[in-house]
Amino acid sequence: MSYSQRLIEREAALGRPVRVGIVGAGQMGSGLVAQVHRARGMVVAAVADVAIDRAEAALAGAGRSDVERATSIEHAAEVITSGRAAVLDDGLRLAELPLDIVVEVSGIPDVAAQVALSCILAGTDVALMTVEADVTVGLLLARTAASGSAVYTVCRGDEPVECLKLVEYATDLGLEVVVAGKGKNNPMRPTDVPEDVAEEAERKGMNPKMLTSFTDGTKTQIEMAALANATGYSIETPGMHGAAVDLDGLARTLRPVAEGGIVTSDGPVVEYVTGDVAPGVFVVVRSDSEVVTEELHYLRLPGEGNHFQLYRPFHLASVEAPLSIGEAVLDRRPSFAATAWTADVIATAKSDLSDGTVLEGIGGHHLHGTAYDAAQTRQEQLLPIALAATSTLVRDVPAGQALTYDDVLLDESRPLVAMRRMQDAMIAQGVIR
């Protein structure tokens, strides 16, 4: 039975739909508000944004006229229980409201991590669209949620989640996954800064820093590291291979070296490719059965020898995100969450950086992200890119070098830094793995 039908039945049984709170009313958040508004069995009950006018505009754009600006948490709760929509300027307060699930769409790792933790501790389900937070403290959030009553998940619609669904499908078919990954939409230019993409960003109506995070490769590195942590797969080499491979060459190229490919690891790995695969996701699988291999060729599954590829040619971002609401609320399970910590995304200098520089974050002038095996990250004390913003260099760092904790003075007042410190300590002590 579909989630839609089950949500309708839930609403009939309880006398109300699933109450959804949304943090962030930018482009992605406004799209999510509109999509949830169209869904059966769920309703946008609250929207929080630092620009409260933007929250009101998102609801108005979805066709809601029963919107009320909350003057207090008590007032917001009253608005929600009456069936209207409350707007407020503090996403952290949504955990205090009578909501079934909070969906975070701020795009800011610090905000996303705090919203997630506040909801988990309050026993409210939470879904993130800011994967940058998950790739920094996702194992801590997933384990904390699993020990309580809340569901923590990353939303459907982004490449890592949709790729995980292909991995699950392949595994259910008894096929061995060799490589899982995505096609990269943009060229890989690691030294891009916002000025380099300003004209393109204006044409596309994008924030230049966001576009820079795509073209300098950071977003792809983050997405694939998150996939590695959700599957337990490895990052074979810093930054991955990033091979130039078209769709018809995936199963030929992304296979073990001994069989003519580029993969050197024994176990499954995560990769991205350039070529015509974007905006899709894929898995390359292997069959150890001659009978199954012959059947797959007969059924015209694309492949070569005993290696085949499964491919999904799209991902639909906020349009698919409500699927995670249904999965969390009805099935009490995440669509996507870290199950291990096998990968990190490390801050790497775009240019020669000088002692005393106050570093910008993702998509800025100073750093791009590079995915690393987490064991190497721990051994060399490499600095996750989401922690680098607002930190100060205490020594010169040459272009192309990965930063370490010793290279910077971190802002220890940031909750995200504290949460990462906690996660690292728990991994080191074997409390979480």
**Residue 235 to residue 415: CA distance in whole angstroms:** 27
Q: Are residues 167 and 22 in the same domain?
A: no
pLDDT of 412 over the 90 cut:
yes
Q: Is the peptide bond before 415 cis (omega within 30 degrees of 0)?
A: no
Which residues form the domain of 49?
Answer: 3-158+318-331
Residue 354 sits in a domain whose CATH number is: 3.90.1210.10
Please compute the mean of the pLDDT values over residues 129-141 and round it to a whole number: 98
pLDDT in tens, 336-355: 999 999 999 999 999 999 99
Sign (positive or negative) of CA dihedral 296, 168, 155, 139 = negative
Q: Are residues 153 and 45 in the same domain?
A: yes
pLDDT of 124 over the 90 cut:
yes
- H runs (alpha helix) in 369-413: 374-380, 385-388
Indicate whether 89 belongs to any domain. Answer: yes
Q: Which residues contact 204 (CB under 8 A, 6 or more apart)?
A: 211
Q: How far is CA 158 from CA 25, 123, 406, in A?
A: 18, 25, 34
pLDDT in tens, 306-316: 999 999 999 99
CA neighbor of 361 nearest in space, from 303, 292, 416: 416
Contact 338, 227 (CB under 8 A): no
Q: How far apart are the first and last CA of the chain?
A: 35
Please state the φ and ψ torsions of residue 7, each to the nearest 5 degrees: -70, -35
DSSP one-letter code for 358: B
Contact 346, 377 (CB under 8 A): yes
Helix, strand or coil, per DSSP, at residue 177: strand
Indicate whether 42 belongs to any domain. Answer: yes
pLDDT in tens, 185-208: 877 999 999 999 999 999 988 999
State the average pLDDT for the chain. 97
Counting the structural domains of the chain, the total is: 3
pLDDT in tens, 158-167: 999 999 999 9
The per-residue pLDDT for 409 is 98
Token reading at 322: 């409500």
Indicate whether 338 belongs to any domain. Answer: no
Q: Are residues 147 and 236 in the same domain?
A: no
Q: Are residues 138 and 259 in the same domain?
A: no
- Please tell me whether the overall predicted TM-score, pTM, comes out greater than 0.95 for this model: yes
Q: Are residues 323 and 297 in the same domain?
A: no
Indicate whether 111 belongs to any domain. Answer: yes
Contact 243, 294 (CB under 8 A): no
**Residue 10 to residue 25: CA distance in whole angstroms:** 27
Q: How far is CA 304 from CA 182, 249, 263, 317, in A?
A: 20, 9, 16, 32
CA neighbor of 321 nearest in space, from 59, 30, 78: 30
CB count within 10 Å of CB 246 equals: 13
Q: How many CA atoms lie within 13 A of 91 on its CB side?
A: 29
Indicate whether 433 belongs to any domain. Answer: no
**Residue 48 to residue 60: CA distance in whole angstroms:** 14
**Residue 166 to residue 284: CA distance in whole angstroms:** 10
Q: Are residues 213 and 299 in the same domain?
A: yes
Q: Are residues 217 and 300 in the same domain?
A: yes
Q: Are residues 380 and 409 in the same domain?
A: yes
pLDDT of 1 over the 90 cut:
no
CA neighbor of 130 nearest in space, from 145, 100, 152: 152
Indicate whether 385 belongs to any domain. Answer: yes
Indicate whether 350 belongs to any domain. Answer: yes
**Residue 282 to residue 38: CA distance in whole angstroms:** 30
Q: Are residues 171 and 300 in the same domain?
A: yes
Contact 263, 178 (CB under 8 A): yes
Q: How many CA atoms lie within 13 A of 78 on its CB side?
A: 8
Indicate whether 200 belongs to any domain. Answer: yes
Please state the φ and ψ torsions of residue 300, each to the nearest 5 degrees: 65, 30
- Rounded to the nearest 5 percent, the helix, strand and coil shares of the chain are 45, 20, 35
The per-residue pLDDT for 432 is 79
Q: Are residues 387 and 421 in the same domain?
A: yes
Q: Are residues 18 and 144 in the same domain?
A: yes
Q: Are residues 307 and 207 in the same domain?
A: yes
